[in-house]
Amino acid sequence: MRMRPTLSWTPDASLPPGTTDPGPVADALSTGGVLVLSGAGLSTESGIPDYRGEGGSLSRHTPMTYQDFTSSAGARRRYWARSHLGWRTFGRARPNAGHRAVAAFGRHGLLSGVITQNVDGLHQAAGSDAVVELHGSLDRVVCLSCGDFSPRRELARRLEEANAGFAPVAAALNPDGDADLTDEQVGDFHVVPCTVCGGVLKPDVVFFGEAVPPQRVAHCRTLVGEATSLLVLGSSLTVMSGLRFVRQAAQAGTPVLIVNRDPTRGDQHAVTRVALPLGTALTTVAEHLGLPVEDPATA
């Protein structure tokens, strides 16, 4: 049975509206030990859409499920055609001011760690260290038969060779790195196998319907337990993948602060929600703390 991802939730009307004052975030960071939990909203200013914000991709696009991918060669053909085209744009995305601010917080010893629900690698590109990629990363590929890992750039080269001239115009790019294509545009796209054993290749990301590895969840829970506060950036917290860490922090009495323009499913657990664009809010916080926000491309 095809699992449809959670599309929405109904905000509690009794919750207070978000504030435009990022001061509480600066205050929390000034004491150090802050754990960041980031979501797709942090990357929208880099040109990567989110799932559930205004114009989010889930209003028009149901992501590939693990069950469909593993059970259907046709589904894999559609996925890799869309993902191959999307990677040409996705792979060129650059960190924005929000990513750079998070990296600055880390460089100056204010963070205990970064957990990201994103698969775009932009935290690392901005200079953040020891990032836990909760849902994996699109820049790696894994074989489902032998477990071999390989770089996405190598697969992109092989797919280019196997599909010379493949250049349809996509309607839109999605947060999971694929592009909207019709079945006619997918055509007879050729999928390439693992070079080690000939098995099925899959991006090293957690698909809908697939569980996050238990060891990774346990590691994240340890980080939450050790943090002085939890700072959620650009996540609606609609799915349990991230919400569980917010609930864990709140139950332990650890302050939860959220920066997200729209209400989130975790607002009831937060001491504040800053309703500002991520780049604006985090740059303001960095300036308040006297921290330079460097662009790694020019530093």
Residues annotated catalytic, as ranges: 135
43 is in an annotated binding site: yes
117 is in an annotated binding site: yes
51 is in an annotated binding site: yes
The type of residue at 91 is G
209 is in an annotated binding site: no
**What does the block give as tokens for 98?**
């929000």
112 is in an annotated binding site: no
49 is in an annotated binding site: yes
289 is in an annotated binding site: no
Beta strand residue intervals within the chain, DSSP E: 34-38, 111-116, 131-133, 136-143, 149-151, 201-205, 229-233, 256-259, 272-274
220 is in an annotated binding site: no
How far is it, in rounded angstroms, from Cα 160 to Cα 282? 39
HSE-CB at 139 with a 13 A cutoff on CA atoms is 13
**What does the block give as tokens for 252?**
């332990």
252 is in an annotated binding site: no
Nearest to 62 by CA among 77, 39, 78: 78
Nearest to 173 by CA among 70, 285, 56, 37: 56
Whether 266 and 289 have beta carbons less than 8 Å apart is answered as no
111 is in an annotated binding site: no
Binding residues for Zn(2+): 143, 146, 194, 197
Binding residues: 39-59, 117-120, 143, 146, 194, 197, 234-236, 278
Binding residues for NAD(+): 39-59, 117-120, 234-236, 278
